[in-house]
Amino acid sequence: MLSEEEAFGLLHRYVKNDKLRKHMLAVATIMRRLARKLKENDMLWFLTGLLHDLDYEMVENFKEHGIKSTEILKNVLPEEALEAIRAHNEMTGYESKTRLAIALKAADQVSGLIIATALVMPHKKLEEVKLSSLKKKFKQKDFARSVKRDKIKLCEQLGLSLEEFLELSLEALKEIHDKLGL
């Protein structure tokens, strides 16, 4: 399996947009924290989160997003990770009910909610975001409209309440606030 250093090398090779890189790091960090909570392979979950959008800038047809990534990663990540990456974009037509795939969908969306919430805080800092703020923003359908709340709620299939998942994710991102610039 790929090392973390090699994964970051791939990230920098294929992803030029700094905002997208930060999103991928955010998802990976949430995935690692979630894996530890669920007693899963935290390195595998981290790498899956880090590389899930590797092809985002290269696909012209969004239906291919996730598929191209798995073609790049087929010899360096196990099939379980490739399956989760293919399935995180429902437009590919791939489905997966593995814990890893469910976690990736949930982490992908919750990272967007948390970062959007931080950006509306007075100083645009994660340290200002409280669990109560996240819960309110989750309920506001007109806030961060592109965030799919139903995907965040997939955390319940992993045995976590929405509140537990929001808190775990927020704490994970607060730990890397400097890398996210938040």
DSSP string, 123-182: T--GGG--HHHHHHHHH-TTSSTTS-HHHHGGGGGGT--HHHHHHHHHHHHHHTHHHHT-
pLDDT attached to residue 69: 94
pLDDT attached to residue 60: 87
pLDDT attached to residue 18: 97
In this prediction, the residues of the chain whose per-residue pLDDT falls under 70 are none
DSSP state of 92: G
pLDDT attached to residue 1: 87
Nearest to 174 by CA among 108, 117, 99: 117
Distance between CA atoms of 17 and 46, rounded to whole angstroms? 20
pLDDT attached to residue 35: 98
pLDDT attached to residue 90: 86
Number of structural domains, the chain?
A: 1
Residues 155-180 pLDDT 10s: 999 999 999 999 999 999 999 999 99
Q: Which CATH number does the domain housing residue 175 bear?
A: 1.10.3210
pLDDT attached to residue 136: 97
The boundaries of the domain holding residue 17 are 4-180
pLDDT attached to residue 92: 86
pTM above 0.85?
Answer: yes
